[in-house]
Amino acid sequence: MTDINPSTAAAPSPDVTRTAFEGESIWLPRLSVEHLNAGHDAIRGKTFTECLIEGPAVMLPAGDVVFEDCHMGTAASPQNLLLAPVGDLVTGAIGVADCRFVRCRFLYVGFVGHEAFREMFAAGVPSLSSLQESGQ
């Protein structure tokens, strides 16, 4: 039997200093943990272009987070992707600040935020049914 050295078998850790990701699959929980391990309180100042953003995860957008022409998941309505905080602090969500998502696809990612964010998100993100009707 051959032993497997975990350091060579595992995928390399994401580089937390990168500011741009293009055409990649991003496992959001791992990217978050790498940032936390590096002393960052959130994933901050990144641009993701045509990436697959995978969960399971709950994202807490803060600051200037932009979603441009993204497919947000398989929910029939954007409201099904949204969670409302019950207290004054959200614990356990992945903080994302001042990031831009361009033509990304989200898979198993929910979103939590204050009421104004939830209203904006629900109004500005097309539902799966509207994407299917337009042939996208």
Q: Is the pLDDT of residue 2 over 60?
A: no
> Which amino acid, 91?
T
pLDDT classification of 108: cutoffs 50, 70, 90: very high
Q: Is the pLDDT of residue 25 over 50?
A: yes
Q: Is the pLDDT of residue 74 over 90?
A: no
pLDDT in tens, 78-96: 788 889 888 888 889 999 9
8 A C-beta contact, residue 85 and residue 114: yes
Residues 6+ apart with CB under 8 A from 136: 71
pLDDT classification of 4: cutoffs 50, 70, 90: very low
